[in-house]
Structure 1
Amino acid sequence: MASSSTLTSTHLPILRTILDEWHQKQPVPKSFPVPLAELQSPPSKDKLKDVIVAFRTRPPLANETADKFHADLYAKDAVVDEAGKIFSLQFCAGITVASTEPGVFFAHIPGMKWSGPTLTHKPYEADLAFGPGVDNEEVYQRTVVVNDMLSLALSGGVGCILAYGQTGSGKTFTMESVEHRVARDLFDQARVMGKRLLLAQGADHPKADTGDIFEFSVTFLELLGKHASDLLELTEKVDENGNPVRTEIPVREDKVGNVRPNLVASIVSSSEELEVLINKALSHRRTSATLRNATSSRSHAMLTITVKNTLLPYADEGQLILVDLAGSERHEDSKDHNKQRMDEARDNNKSLMNLKECVRAKAKMAAEDGFVHIPWRSNKLTMLLKPIFDIESRQPSRAVIIAHVSPHIQDTVHSTNTLSYAAPFKTAPPKPRGPAPYDAKDPRTWDHDKTVEWLTAQFTARAMKSRQAAWNVMEKQAKLGGKRIEPLAAPKPGELDLGVDISKICPAGSTAKNLGVLYTPQFVQRCLEARNSPALTLDELNHTAVDIIGNLFYLILTAKTRKRNEIMKSRKKLTTEVYGDAPRMIKDYDEEEFLEAQIYYGLDWSKLVVGAQQKCKEEGKDWEGDMYPRTLDDLMDKFRAHKASLAAQKASDAEE
């Protein structure tokens, strides 16, 4: 049986002795095969994993053990000194790093048996393991740099870094350092890649010397329980606890399935600007005291850096998502919270469990053919991480999960939960797929020429309709004057005035997929800017643009629905395991009659069947093949006799 932190503290001298004996029998821990100073450039892309799991434990703080943990003097087998007092509490490690790469953590789990305190040494595996002596720079180099996360975002992919663990285990300390180092390196990496792209294309670009072809926009979202807010929003309102009160931001899908909260997107062009923005947002984040941490983060904080390539403006925008998850809490850590804090803790834990289910489903999809449901819509946190979990996404993605655990043996029970939580993350999801095959009914697969053709057809149809309406008016007026006009002839090539320049609505390189991510006002604005004649008035062009973008949204949604139905039809049937099979009925009773019989007998049905089965066992007879069918026959015969008796009585009453 697992031990509580108080009981663990009470038996700390005994547990330390057991742990020392275990350490003496273990081999020397394996360090990183390549020293930090000798780390080379990232490996080839085919060797990079889609999901990288790292474990990290921090060093104990001064006086932390004595301040946070307490022993029970009156507990059975409590270890006391000559004066009858509990020995002063000293740090005892609950985590041992057995190997750094591949990573192996041993969690030392205290327990109690009839003979006294015990320790169970349970190993957990990951890609990397960082012990208490590893600093933030090495964590950043071995997770973000080695796995080429910055280049992935600059290349139009999605990189995600998440920090998870118990409150007070060091998540925020790690993530803030990663965020600042990303700010330090991102722009230098962008300039190097920009120069390389310009050189490869032989482009005579005004920024060929600097390589500044990328635009960066930054959002910082806080998810507190079920409520999302913008950490970059300026506000002077504060609540009773002194925390700023911000406008709640809705988190939902738009018309074509994109999740884009209405956040303040700040454009940054240098490391210094990004640093200032990060510091500003972090200063606004909610914190509160818990039994484990005086400044515990009460919310999920999500920094999203969106990268746009101005050299290839209609290529997919890259994203770098850095998420400092709220600390998970046990009842022991949160039992003194007020109702609001308890609700927040419960919502945070629900979102973390839903995140785990999404990752498990993503991993399952890699191992199985057919349809696997990923429940990313079940929670706002996973909705915000849709680029990672959307099975239809064609963008390459890579995720680094750093699971943090407390170094104290009193927290080992919670540490095992954290390490078990991170275990499913290690299974790599499927490799990114290539471009979707062309489908005339799916705008997401159209190239530039097909998109221009469709837009031209849309504007042509409306121009023809206006032309026909104008002719109808002329014909009506001619009839009133007793005249006839010539029938409306088909327009000659180039004769029909569409009123807009299609090449400005869909420039070279742009496709229907790019238009599909525009909001309706953005598409209307683009059409107004492309207006080149009075053939369409401003009001007519407004209505026409709204209709056309609505048609595009409809085609995309229809294609998604059709694709989803195809996947659903191809999925494999689930096989379920049960604890023993129910005996098969020999006779095929009418289902409705069988149910009526069970309702008639009520609880007696189970009692009669179980009694018959026990009697059969005592007599050594065949239950499934013989006695069970007979028991059912007897029960059904009695029920039918009862029904017949009721029917006869009803008929007799009717005659009288």
Structure 2
Amino acid sequence: MASSAALTTTHLPRLRTLLQDWEQKQLALKGQQRNGSEDLNDSADDLQITLGDNGSKLSKDVIVAFRTRPPLKNEAADKFKGNPDQDAESGEGGAETVKELGIEFCAGISVPNSKAGVFIAHVPGMKWSGPTLAHKSYDSDLAFGPDVSNEEVYQRTVIAQDLLPLVLSGGIGCILAYGQTSSGKTFTMEGLEHRIARDLFDTAKSTGKRLLSSEKIGDADGSDVFKVSVTFLELLGKYATDLVEPGTKVDSQSNPVRKEVPIREDKVGDVKPGLVSTSINNSAELEDLITNSLAHRRMSATNRNATSSRSHALLTIRVKNTLLPYAEEGQLILVDLAGSERYEDSKAHDKVRMDESKENNKSLMNLKECVQAKAKTAQEDGFVHIPWRSNKLTMLLKPIFDIESRQPSKTVIIAHVSPHIQDTVHSTNTLSYASSFKIAPPKLRGPAPYDANDPRTWDHEHTVSWLTDQFKTKVLAADTKDAERRNSVLETLDDNAPVELPVDIGILCPPGATGMYFGKMYTIEFVERCLNAVPKPAEGIPKVDSEALKNMAQEIIGALFYLVITAKTKSRKELMNSRKKLNVEQSYGEGARRFVPGTNRTYEVEVYDHADIYDARRYYGGEWDKTVNNAIQKSKDEGGWIVEAKGNAIKGLMERWRAQKAEKETMQTKAG
């Protein structure tokens, strides 16, 4: 059985002896081989996997790294206490022995091979014969021992994985720091954030210069090609605030009080909280913003850390390429996650701290579910549900979980563990959690196939064609109404006859603009663009009625929004329909039946389509759960079979829904 921190401290002398014996055996096995931790020059090729018969390589899109820090001076003696109730008969390190020797550091983590990404956790336990020490190995892509600097972590994660070039090319990069409170997450993330601030603009300048050179545009230095904007959000439980805005008031714990920021998904599926987006022009400005924002972050004292970060902090750097103004923005998301806590660490918390710990652990578990679900998408062709809407943290990380996104992405997860043997039990949980993030490379995905009813698939030519048809239809409809009002006959026009459009489509939709570009616009923004695209009237042609054009523009952009929303719903249903239905005969044999206990009756299993059940549940809302739960409770009270009761309740709801659906379709057919 695993040992508590206090009991581990009590048995330190014995555990240290067991650890030394293990280390001697490892040295004997290795012989004269060089310690793997000395070889720290990983290359990007180490994190590539060969795919297909042609031997092509595809870089992994999730990189897992382990890191442990060095112990601080007097940390072991200050944070860990012996167990005064230790059985003195054990003869191994009672309380008096610990008191005499003092509580000194004992390593709970070994890094035998950082090149191979291996951590070994030394887990103390207890048997009838006394203390034991188990040695569990955990694999990752990268391993950072206690002597590794932040600069080396930066070089082997951000630089070696090409995160900055990825973001500058319109991709999405993400770094997550996870681990127990006081394990060094914030130290790592602040180091990475300031180094990214140091190098981002130099990299952008050199990249911009190459782009300008390739397009034969003068001798510009490339510093104006990319526009950088930054937001910094704090998520405390379910409460999100803007770290860029300083709070004008403080609470009872001297933490700033700031206005809550809503986190919602917009019409095209983007999750963009209402944060202050700050334009950044150079490294110094970005470093100042990071430093000032982190000073506003909420911290509280806990049993393990006097300045524990009680919240998730998300720094998002967005990069816009001015040479490709209609392309997707590149994003670099840096997340310092709140520390995970076990009961032993949080049992002394007050109600507020306890609720914070619960919410933090809940969001971390949901993050794990999303990553594991994403791993399945690399292995399955059908529908895979990624529950990123279940928590605000994963909503904010939607760009790396959206299976419909065509933007390339790469995520680096750095799992931090305490170096102390007293924390090894928690460290094993952290390493197990992070190890599950190692997933196969994603399948190669090209651009989405063109669909006339899905603006997300339109290129520039398709968008121009759709806008032209829309304005042409609106003009002809307006001419028809005007003729009817004057009681005159409108001359029948050939479909191919030219129509004078109220806007210049070339100005409204310049090269590079796509359906999704307009889909992300606000209505008033589209109307304004239409008014600015009105051509100068030729001689003898009246000016365009601005009010009529405004109404026309609102109708057109409304039609585009409808297509986007309908396409999203349709694609989701098609994915759900692609799931394999349960075939009862294959599972239970032909004529499958379930006998109802105590009777001679049988209950036949009936299977419904997933999409049908999804639509029916949305239609009924709370009535669905209420009906099913009442049927289950009634079955319990009467001693019946719960499976049959639940199945009959669902069957009744589905039959009623199908009847109502059929009636509605009949009425629509008659009306048509």
Name the TM-score, length of structure 2 as normaliser: 0.82
Question: 1:404, 1:602 → 2: CA distance?
Answer: 53
1:24 maps to which residue?
24
SS in 1 for 2:403: coil
- Residue number among 368, 376, 379 corresponding to 1:364 in the alignment: 376
- Alignment match, 1:115: 129
Letter in 2 for 1:283: A
Cα shift readout 1:367-410 (whole Å, capped 9, x = no counterpart): 22311111111111111111110111101000100000000001
1:541 & 1:150 partners in 2: Cα distance? 44
Deviation at 1:435, TM superposition (A): 0.7
Deviates more, 1:560-569 or 1:418-427: 560-569
Residue 83 (structure 1) shift: 8.2
User: What is the rounded CA distance, in whole Å, between the counterparts of 2:499 and 2:315 in structure 1?
Assistant: 50
- Alpha-carbon distance change, 88 to 314 in structure 1, aligned in 2, over 3 angstroms: same
Q: CA separation in 2, counterparts of 1:317 and 1:70? A: 52
For 2:572, the equivalent position in structure 1 comes to 564
Residue aligning to 2:448: 436
- Please list, as runs of the form range in 1=range in 2, the aligned pairs for 1:93-172 lying within 5 A after superposition: 93-172=107-186
- Which letter does structure 2 place at the counterpart of 1:192? S
- 8 Å CA contact 1:95–1:105 kept in 2: the answer is yes
Letter in 1 for 2:36: K
Separation in structure 2 between the aligned mates of residue 121 and residue 41 of structure 1, nearest angstrom:
26
The aligned amino acid for 1:30 is G
Q: Quick check: 1:509 aligned with 2:512? A: yes
SS of the aligned residue for 2:395 comes to helix
- After superposition, residues 347-386 of structure 1 pair within 5 angstroms as 347-386=359-398
Deviation of 1:47 after TM superposition, in Å, equals 5.0
Letter in 1 for 2:561: F
Residue type of the alignment partner of 1:220 = F
Cα gap change, 1:230/1:574 in structure 2, threshold over 3 Å: closer, same or farther?
farther
In structure 1, give the amino acid aligned to 2:564: I
Query: 1:623 aligns to what?
Result: none
Amino acid aligned to 1:540: A
Unaligned runs of 5+ in 1: 476-484, 607-656
Structure 1 residue aligned with 2:653: none
Q: Specify whether residues 165 and 184 from structure 1 end up closer, same or farther in structure 2 by C-alpha distance, changes over 3 A only.
A: same
1:465 is aligned to 477
Counterpart Cα distance in 1 of 2:528 and 2:560: 16
Q: How does 1:417-428 map to 2 (within 5 A)?
A: 417-428=429-440
Contact 1:193 1:211 in 2 (8 A): no
Matched position secondary structure for 1:89: coil
- 1:262 is displaced (CA, Å) by 1.3
Give the CA deviation at 1:82. 7.1
2:652 corresponds to: none
Kept in 1, the 8 Å contact 2:108–2:420? The answer is yes
User: Whole-Å Cα distance in 1 between the matches of residues 173 and 468 of structure 2?
Assistant: 37
Alignment of 1:27-42 (within 5 A): 27=30, 29-31=35-37, 33=39, 35=41
In structure 2, relative to structure 1, the CA distance for the partners of 1:409 and 1:392 (3 Å cut) is same
What do residues 505-542 of structure 1 show as CA deviations (whole Å, max 9, x unaligned)? 21111110211122333323322332346755444333
Q: Is the 8 Å Cα contact of residues 41 and 146 (structure 1) preserved in structure 2?
A: no
* d(CA) in 1 for partners of 2:47, 2:223: 21
Matching residue of 1:413: 425
Q: Is the CA contact (8 Å cut-off) linking 1:471 and 1:488 kept in structure 2?
A: no
Contact 1:80–1:86 at 8 Å: present in 2 too? no
CA contact (8 A) 2:66 2:415 kept: yes
- CA change 1:261–1:432 in 2 (3 A) is farther
Contact kept? 2:163, 2:410, Cα under 8 Å = yes
Give the letter aligned to residue 236 of structure 1.
Answer: T
- Which consecutive segments of 4 or more residues in structure 1 shift more than 6 A? 38-45, 81-84, 491-495, 580-584, 592-596, 598-606
Asked if 2 retains the 8 angstrom alpha-carbon contact of 1:396 and 1:432, the reply is no
1:189 to 175, 185, 203: 203
The letter of the residue matching 2:435 is A
Structure 2: which 5+ residue stretches go unaligned? 50-55, 606-630, 643-672
Matched, 1:8 2:8: yes
- Contact map agreement 1:328 1:349 (CA 8 A) in 2: yes
- Residue aligned with 1:267, SS: strand
Q: CA deviation at 1:427?
A: 1.0
Q: 1:455: how far off?
A: 1.0
Distance 1:395 1:521 in 2: 28
Q: Structure 2 matches for 1:540-619, cutoff 5 A?
A: 540-573=548-581, 589-591=600-602
Name the CA distance, whole Å, in 2 between partners of 1:244 and 1:209.
Answer: 42
1:169-213 Cα shifts (integer Å, max 9, x gaps): 0000000000000011111111111111222233x25x6333531
Could you tell me how far 1:48 is from its partner in structure 2? Answer: 2.7
Q: Measure, in 1, the Cα distance between the counterparts of 2:389 and 2:331.
A: 20
Contact 1:81 1:87 (8 Å CA) reproduced: no
Farther off after superposition, 494-503 or 343-352: 494-503
Which of the residues 47, 54, 58 maps onto 2:65? Answer: 54
The question of whether the paired residues in 1 share the 8 Å contact of 2:504 and 2:533 is answered with yes
Query: Judging changes above 3 Å, is the alpha-carbon distance between structure 1 residues 487 and 127 closer, same or farther for their aligned structure 2 residues?
Result: closer
Q: Secondary structure at the match of 2:270?
A: coil
Q: Kindly provide the CA deviation profile for residues 26-67 of structure 1, in whole angstroms up to 9, marking residues without a partner as x.
A: 13641254548x999999994532111100000000110010
3-state DSSP of counterpart to 1:425: coil
Q: Deviation of residue 366 (structure 1)?
A: 1.2
User: Please, what TM-score do these two structures have when normalized by structure 1?
Assistant: 0.84
Moved more, 209-218 or 264-273: 209-218
Structure 1 segment 64-75 matched on structure 2, within 5 A: 64-75=75-86
Counterpart of 1:198? Answer: 212
Q: Distance in 2 between matches of 1:72 and 1:111?
A: 15
8 Å CA contact 1:198–1:211 kept in 2: the answer is no
CA distance in 1, matches of 2:434, 2:564: 36
Question: 2:102 is matched with which residue?
Answer: 88
Hey, what's the Cα distance between the residues in 2 that align with 1:351 and 1:314?
34
The alpha-carbon distance between structure 1 residues 55 and 586, as it changes in their structure 2 partners (threshold 3 A), is closer
What amino acid is aligned across from residue 72 of structure 1 in structure 2?
N
Q: Structure 1 pair 25/530, CA: closer, same or farther in 2 (3 Å)?
A: same
- Give the partner amino acid of 1:173: F
**Cα distance, 1:255 vs. partner?**
1.0
How far 1:603 sits from its partner (Å)? 6.5
Give the alignment of 1:510-529 within 5 angstroms: 510-529=513-532
Deviates more, 1:545-554 or 1:167-176: 545-554
Tell me, yes or no, if the aligned pair for 2:11 and 2:94 is still in contact at 8 Å: no
In the aligned structure 2, how far is the partner of 1:232 from the partner of 1:413?
37
Secondary structure at the aligned position of 1:367 is classed as coil
Q: 2:356 matched to which residue of 1?
A: 344
- Equivalent pairs, count: 590
Match of 1:175 among 189, 204, 214: 189
Cα distance in 2 between the residues matched to 1:19 and 1:573: 53
Q: Distance in 2 between matches of 1:306 and 1:279?
A: 18
C-alpha separation in 2, matches of 1:600 and 1:61:
59
The structural deviation recorded for 1:452 is 1.1
Q: Distance in 1 between matches of 2:307 and 2:116?
A: 33
Which of 304, 309, 320 aligns to 1:308? It is 320
Specify which of 210, 224, 227 is matched with residue 215 of structure 1. 227
Indicate conservation of the 8 Å contact 2:594/2:604, yes or no: no
Contact (CA 8 Å) 1:10, 1:86: kept in 2 or not? no
CA 104–575 in structure 1, closer or farther in 2 if over 3 Å, else same: farther
Structure 2 distance, partners of 1:553, 1:84, is: 70
1:227-265 Cα shifts (integer Å, max 9, x gaps) = 111111243122221111111111111112111111111
| Pair 177,431 (structure 1): closer, same or farther in 2 beyond 3 Å | farther
Give secondary structure in 2 for the equivalent of 1:426: coil
Of residues 304, 307, 310, the one that matches 1:295 is 307
In 2: Cα distance, 1:84 partner to 1:405 partner: 25
1:390 aligns with 2:402: yes
CA deviation map 1:395-454 (0-9, x unaligned): 100010000000000111110111011011111341451111111121111111111111
